[in-house]
Structure 1
């Protein structure tokens, strides 16, 4: 992707900036062929200037005010980070919290040897409170291990199992109450079910056996009050409780795969880089042949994919359980389950077949434009050959983006853990005070306890309804906004740098004699010295739109339960409009940055000139740009497909020579995705 992006800059210079094509290249003395000379709604074409030698060197600083604003914003961002790091407590994210607001498994506390969180009644986790406040309205305690057997309080009370059962009651429980009082006060759970830890929480050990849901060896469970219920009711509660936690567990498994296969991932990335470099070098000398070979290879790779999917589909025909529908199966964290279904391979086969047909039709209708695009690609490969360091610059952009992401993520985590513990009233549907905040120390003797004798005051979440909480919410919004601003600034700096370097190549009449000694470094230094404000201006506009989109997504999630159809329609329209606006601004910014790199004008002037230039050549730009992008896409598909097939056979132990070399993984698609995306 970075290599093709570097290739694309000189291609865009050739395709888009047709007003600046010299007379010796266009065949005329004034302007490009097919270009009118009359001034219209899209401005006047710039006339050919034989003295113009590429990016001007005598330029001044542009958009200084935006540069000052960016520096002040960075200072404020550092201050926000300091506030977050001094007030945040990451333990709130790492360790689960019981109903009393105490951490489970934290060293130096009374729960140091109790790392798991146990829910008294997991069925109540199906409550909407789980989605709104991420807390089940049921007592929760820290335990040393999750229960491994079925046991009800009624059966255990008068048996030898009561000592085992007591470890799942509230700390300090004394057996001096009646059964009804114990269950009413929430001192002990009504029933224990076999459970397994997931993200340090105890969840029922639910599994499927021959299409039947079971917990342990049972298909029903006792609710603790003398009646048995179906496992599906338990499943609904568990699904609500561990939806987010399964995603966290999935992330941990993926991280584990990275730790055991990182060296193979590096080797795969090196292989992909070498293949991309060879591809670029071959394009310089054999552009026409390479493009057509590339097209044929892509068609063959897709054809093999279709054949492989058909063979897997045929192999699974008749196997038990392979005819299960994807809808009935639902989301599974172990993605290997999907590979044992016929419907999965049928879906892959249909998608690849549609893609194959689309590519063949495009090749038939765009065959003439492909010849022109081949010439552009050949020139682009020459430019990369003269400016070889351009292939390394995307690593600089990647490093700076990693810094932005790391600072944003750490600040967000520390800010989110800067709040105080909030306690609310739970577990009495008839109580009008359910959901209200309370104080666990004074609740037993308060008026709320007398109004709702069956209710409990327990930990809900970290937050608050004070001005401090609102200030933290504002800081989180500022954190998101600054992340977008800085990330867009880094991308803009990369676009201006590459555009300036390739513009030096484009206007050099005698190559490489007229090229500067270090074209990439010169372009980078010009961008930072003179145009930091312009880059900040363009990034600021895009960051504002992206922040608004994030806020719309947040509002959409909060208003999903609303029944107002007009509000839903309005929200969809706003999201669609801002999505289109973001795409347009990205397109305009990219071309404005190229004008800044060449002429050194401010952002508004560059954006206006770029827009009028595109409008004067809209058909030419659209056709050649998309055809060239399509050919680059085929090149990416060829490299990605080749590396992906190699990774698939390697990590699934299907290459006999190195069959025992690949490491054991939870998900073999993790390194495959990294190989193909690299």
Structure 2
């Protein structure tokens, strides 16, 4: 008989009931001929692959167009009234941008150095040969200025404010930040190389059985946690120092000239960033100290990973290939981004007060902004795509290893996984990688709220907030919660389409939450600290060098940079990718072990299972410990006994007869993790009473 849904359920209970009764939320079923990752496969999500290929053709065409009209020399310098870039070609000796009449900012000249004092009729127009002075058009008295990023900023308050309003526009800042990256390419390369070395060290550590042991994992996690906090604190200190340095250039004595107007927005912005960084570091240290026991929860699962990592040949070639291809894509697409910043439409304005009667300016159009956003999207999509490929291949490798009972006979799982993704599932990985890139942060936020709602589903404040957030939570429960990198692992083993794989994987993990959630979260926490270390070490090295060193390795003056933060951010993007490759691949191995183990338990009986004893003990010990903690919360009186047991231990069959209920007692005080189960047989009196 079908039971109708309770119409009195609140919105949180409806979400919970919808998840519990979902069509994909059912136990997996195995067959006697199951031998691991599916042999028979069909191509999945071909349309997504076709769209991705077409978009890349469009990207190639845009790249050719941008390269033909762009000029990166426009990024770091200003341009004169003819639209020619200062410090380039015929103006190579005139690097500084100067406004002879700050009340008319359309008239711009390129000069050799910024004037420090007033000299009558010193500044004149120059001819197209950039040498001959056109005194017939009149000359200006020079004004006192200070230097900042190849711009001459007037000392006088009103004039200085007019020029700064032009200098610190959004378009101008982005272009000059691109110029800073171009001028400091040598330091950028050194910073990325430092993080690359750090990443390779971790790649070499993981397959080493002498490192991947329980105590070593704990120490590695704690050391990385405190080292990452040190890097963040150091970063906040350098940012604060840089804020004082910029304030000195803009507001204090600069080249023997004291400005009358102080523009302190950059200083305040950097100080706020410094405060946020130091606050995050302090809170993170407190969190690490309070949760240092979580490192122990990662021991068993990480210990299980050492066997497939050390025995499967070629498994660590995958992250090396990802790093190589990914860095090539990062370099290529970021060069294209810099070139895109330099494009624009030359606009001519009539002005009879300048030689030639026209003033040429370069405007960054709306279509140029759309092109830039498209290139940025393709850049991050490619990086997410490469990371997803690694997760799929790692899942296929671990699936082949796990579901082979004789581990010594496993045959080329690396090449098999690569063949499967290239031949059948490339479109699915394209689709999933875009979803992960676009929805990763929203899913993280919404999952936090969802956990809060489920935990307090009877609370009136929680219900009020849930009803208010219905529109936000609807897409989460409809499809966003299935967006997870573990879907690639499930796909690599069972070869279902993405929509099915993501849902079945989500519910498989949900059904076995007590067994695998705690160790997976602990492993994720350990790897998070490694991510921070790899990401920050290159960026911080680059930022520190550009802040404290007067020149780069190739001799460029760091005082001429508009911001030293832009090259550091550029380095950090590349370093985050390196960290993701290393840590996401290793976490994919751990997830694959957990998924294979849970699928194995659901698909087969004890004698048919592929699970080894050590893995079974690892998962069951976590489940028993979780249950032991749950049992300490709610207690009810056991019929016919004087002791008390937990309410969730009392179960009834379909005829409402009391079922045998296990009681828990420890075997010994020495080993509190091993529990002894003793069945309670209900008395005849309790049975008759129940009937």
Query: Partner residue of 2:34?
Result: 52
Alignment of 1:494-643 (within 5 A): 494-511=390-407, 513-517=408-412, 519-541=413-435, 588-633=483-528
CA distance in 2, matches of 1:538, 1:303: 32
Distance 1:302 1:608, change over 3 A: closer
CA distance in 2, matches of 1:639, 1:98: 43
Distance 1:93 1:588, change over 3 A: same
Query: Partner residue of 2:362?
Result: 461
By how many angstroms is 1:577 displaced?
Answer: 6.2
Residue-by-residue CA offset, 1:179-223 (whole Å, 9 max, x unaligned): xxx9xxxx6556511343624x3335xxxxxxxxxx5xxxxx4xx
Alignment of 1:146-165 (within 5 A): 146-151=113-118, 156=120, 162=121, 164-165=122-123
Whether the 8 Å contact between 2:76 and 2:180 is mirrored in structure 1 is: no
Query: Partner residue of 2:84?
Result: 102
- Counterpart among 78, 98, 117 of residue 118 in structure 1: 98
Query: Partner residue of 2:321?
Result: 396
Distance 1:195 1:647, change over 3 A: closer
CA distance in 2, matches of 1:350, 1:79: 45
By how many angstroms is 1:526 displaced?
Answer: 1.3
Query: Partner residue of 1:193?
Result: 144
Q: Confirm or deny that 1:142 pairs with 2:109.
A: yes
Alignment of 1:52-71 (within 5 A): 52-71=34-53
Alignment of 1:198-277 (within 5 A): 198-199=149-150, 201-204=151-154, 221=156, 231=157, 234=160, 237-238=163-164, 241-242=167-168, 259=186, 266=193, 269-270=196-197, 273-274=200-201, 277=204
Q: Unmatched 5+ residue regions in structure 1?
A: 1-37, 125-136, 157-161, 177-181, 205-214, 216-220, 222-230, 313-320, 322-326, 424-438, 450-455, 550-572, 653-662
Equivalent residue of 1:389, what SS?
A: coil
- Counterpart among 35, 39, 60 of residue 78 in structure 1: 60
Equivalent residue of 2:37, what SS?
A: coil
Distance 1:536 1:251, change over 3 A: closer
By how many angstroms is 1:376 displaced?
Answer: 0.5
CA distance in 2, matches of 1:675, 1:538: 22
Equivalent residue of 2:308, what SS?
A: helix
Equivalent residue of 1:196, what SS?
A: strand
Residue-by-residue CA offset, 1:68-127 (whole Å, 9 max, x unaligned): 3333333333333333334445554466322232333443x5x465343211345x6xxx
Residue-by-residue CA offset, 1:447-471 (whole Å, 9 max, x unaligned): xx9xxxxxx974443356xxxx75x
Count of residues in Structure 1 that have an aligned counterpart in Structure 2: 488
Distance 1:94 1:595, change over 3 A: same
Q: Confirm or deny that 1:356 pairs with 2:285.
A: yes
Alignment of 1:468-483 (within 5 A): 470=367, 475-476=371-372, 478-483=374-379
By how many angstroms is 1:534 displaced?
Answer: 1.7
Q: Confirm or deny that 1:421 pairs with 2:388.
A: no
Whether the 8 Å contact between 1:55 and 1:504 is mirrored in structure 2 is: yes
Q: TM-score, normalised by structure 2?
A: 0.55
Distance 1:398 1:113, change over 3 A: same
CA distance in 2, matches of 1:533, 1:490: 13
- Counterpart among 363, 379, 382 of residue 307 in structure 2: 382
Whether the 8 Å contact between 1:294 and 1:635 is mirrored in structure 2 is: no
Whether the 8 Å contact between 2:94 and 2:113 is mirrored in structure 1 is: no
Equivalent residue of 1:139, what SS?
A: coil
Q: Unmatched 5+ residue regions in structure 2?
A: 1-19, 239-246, 248-261, 444-467, 547-554, 559-563, 580-691
Report the aligned-residue RMSD: 5.6
By how many angstroms is 1:595 displaced?
Answer: 1.8
Distance 1:151 1:548, change over 3 A: farther
Residue-by-residue CA offset, 1:621-649 (whole Å, 9 max, x unaligned): 443321221233456678999x89x989x
CA distance in 2, matches of 1:510, 1:349: 52
CA distance in 2, matches of 1:459, 1:167: 15
CA distance in 2, matches of 1:97, 1:57: 63
Whether the 8 Å contact between 1:302 and 1:356 is mirrored in structure 2 is: no
Distance 1:62 1:99, change over 3 A: same
Query: Partner residue of 2:124?
Result: 166
